[in-house]
Structure 1
Amino acid sequence: MSATFWLRCALAVALLASLPALAPAQPAPGAGSAPASAPPSNNRDQVQRRIASTATLITTSSGAKQVEASAKPEALAKLKLAREQHAQAQAAFDAGDMEATNKLLYAVAKSLMEAVAKASPEQITARKERTDFDARLESTRTLLDAARRIASEKGKGNAELVKRIEGQIDQANGLAQAGKLADARVVLDQAYGATRAAVGGLRSGDTLVRSLNFANKEEEFHYEVDRNDTHRMLVQVLLADRRAGNTTMDSMINKAMDESAQLRQQADDMARRKDFDAGVKTLEESTRSLVKAIRAAGVYIPG
């Protein structure tokens, strides 16, 4: 569908949404009813222009034509509803009921957009997936910039970690460019998680972070939970290729993960008993198990 059509729909909805709160629509008065008092002429002119522009949307716009060409019953039913609502809006306008007219015109625009969505759900889904991918890509790159800055201060081993993440981002972008958006999103989510974990891991080795003054032990406990989670993410993302086909390596990593998980469970139990001091120490042990596994696999990270 054309960008122009979507722009016109958006403008129509925005214009109608900007109106004051509308009273419930009243049925058009019968022949014997007294006509409602007319609003100021300029307001009536504005409403009349909206009726005309909305008529174009439901009859000759690319969106309306697309709905008709789709031959999809649900889409056609929504388009029919939009046209019926437009006829009702015209009747309300002729009767001098501007509030009912505006409310019905808003309903027309809404029904038409629903019709277009039902006519081409694949296109709309694909467009949303691409938008979501681009947003996640931008977030990942922003995090990666932060990781680069930290890594540049902490040595070659960390630069290698950043380089691995850059490779994942390039791979995801390549898949997206090839039209394999689902596969691209999987790789990009891994890169995002690794980047977030890397930033947390790199910072965890910083004496400034280590010397943070927490308000209480519970706050420190939640900080350590997040640090533990980021290192678990690093294990999953950074060591997947090193574990594949290497039973010795896989066994070592699984052992470390199991040990870390047991310590994490103990820490969670301590927190439930409000023993946050012991919970913090146990969480630190859990995270150290993960750091050792990552380093043993040949990837240096601080911690």
Structure 2
Amino acid sequence: MRNFRITASFAWFGLMLAGAAADAAAAAEPVSVVLAKPDATGGVEVRANSFRATLERKLRLVKQLLSLSPAVLRIPQSNNAQAKRKLAEAQARYAKAETEFNASRGEAAMLLLDESLRQIAAASSLVPDPVQQLAQKRSRNTQLREAIRTFQMQQKGLSSRMSPKKLQASTVVADVDRIDGMVDKADALILGGNQDEANVVLNSAYQSVVATLNKILAAETIVYGLKFDLPAEEFRHELARNRSYEELIPIAIAQLNTVRETAVVAEHYAQQSRDLRVIAQKQASGQDYIAAVKTIEGATSHLQRSLRIAGVVVPHSSEVPP
């Protein structure tokens, strides 16, 4: 006895053709086929008939997809040569599947139909629905604008808390003006109906915002040149610096598309920083500012590590000359 187990999983193609949804759902169910000598119960014949019925449904579904699916009908009207080639391959495999079915070679027909469905899916993905494509572009536009706005707010907050000696304010202002100009250009492109180019400009603006933020963070690591009259002043400065870094972490994780596993590691370092900050604050409350400064600097180093893991370029303090 030879056993053949055939599983057809393509119910999702019903989304491409509403009229084929029922057939797709039925054809998606696993079907076991056993070819053997007939027995007294007639079970083998029942299973063979079930397989044939599934194969017929699959033939109808593929035929409907090739002739009626809007996703497929868009392909010949497009300029995508690769999609047209894949569609031609799908049609050829369907035609051959019909031949195999009529010759009672069901297994071969099933394999050809599966390949035809794969080619239909691949071809359709190359020529997306214009309405859905526009919606995706608008969604991307919104995401970029929100990311730019969030990073700009963070950049302004960091700049306002930094010493002018540590960062050339004119450079940051020029960066901000350039980014604002890029956003204005994107707005003009959208008004002119050029969503694609607008998103390209917004993506460049987003990269510029991140670069400016990294520039501020790099300047923030130059701490050796600062002089404080009192240890308490130095501690307050380091405490504010620590909190500035911590504010960046959830923003970086959210806006830089940090994968979940990496985000967990970044948060682990952030929690270590919070634990050390509590210790530093207790040391400061006891007037031991020298120890408090050392502890809070250690806490900040954990936040720098967390940001690097999330994808923000933050130089080590030791890497930046005084």
TM-score, normalised via structure 1 length: 0.46
**Larger RCO (CA under 8 A, 6+ residues apart):** 1
